[in-house]
Homo-oligomer: A and B are copies of this chain.
Amino acid sequence: MSKGDISRETNGTEARLSRASVGRLSLYLRRLDELLRDGSLKVSSSQLGEALGLTDAQVRKDLAYLGHLGQPGIGYPTRELMTAIRHTLGVDREWKAVLVGVGNLARALLRYRGFQQQGFRIVALFDSDPAKVGQRIDGLTVQARDELPTVIAAAGAELGLLTVPAEAAQSVADILVGAGIRGILNFAPTVLRVPPGVSLVSVDLTVQLEQLAFLVQLGGDT
């Protein structure tokens, strides 16, 4: 498979993408979609930034990483920009994911249209609760946890979505890693450890809520 490296290819522009920049690329993509639907074939950095609360300079810096797409005096070609962002983010292809832990959050993820749209497909469900195994949800059958390795291999899934309780999260993560999963989106309120070569993104709702409490308590600016 492609052996990853952070450096850029074609032009000679050497640049890095911070986590924050990557997050903003997602936002640009979404906004570009709206702008394109409104008929904008060209878009300027300030246009793109304003609805997202970003400065034009910030937008240009981020987009510079994609190569020299901008046209001075004109702006960026909407469609080409979207294609380039999709390619950079890696969402110009399909990603297969397995979902472990079938609760309400899992159901929410399953039904969430945004995922499908961006090329993410959930191909299998797992749960340790025997009462849930065998249930059908949105066309998928819940499977037992010890089937994880074989199913992942058979389906060629690369991503794992973790919606199990905190206590189980690390051991499930280990199993996923052992089964060859390359990235985990963790919703369990724990800090997970994964070996190098496996990517991890965590969404910790408790942390977010406490962040909000803190900000409100301050008498809160944004």
Contact = CB atoms under 8 A, between A and B. Distances in A.
Query: Copy number in this complex?
Result: 2
> How large, as a class, is the contact surface on chain A?
35 or more
Interface string A181-208: 0111100010101101111110111111
Interface of A: 1-6, 17, 19, 22-23, 25-27, 29-30, 51-53, 88-91, 95, 103-105, 107-109, 111-112, 114-115, 118, 120, 158-159, 182-185, 189, 191, 193-194, 196-201, 203-222
A208 to B, nearest CB: 5
A219 B2 contact: yes
Nearest to A109: B205
Contact of A221 (B2, B159, B214): B2
Given A52-B191, A200-B222, 16 more contacts: A3-B219, A4-B217, A19-B211, A23-B211, A26-B210, A30-B206, A51-B191, A103-B108, A158-B216, A159-B216, A183-B216, A196-B221, A196-B222, A198-B220, A199-B220, A201-B215
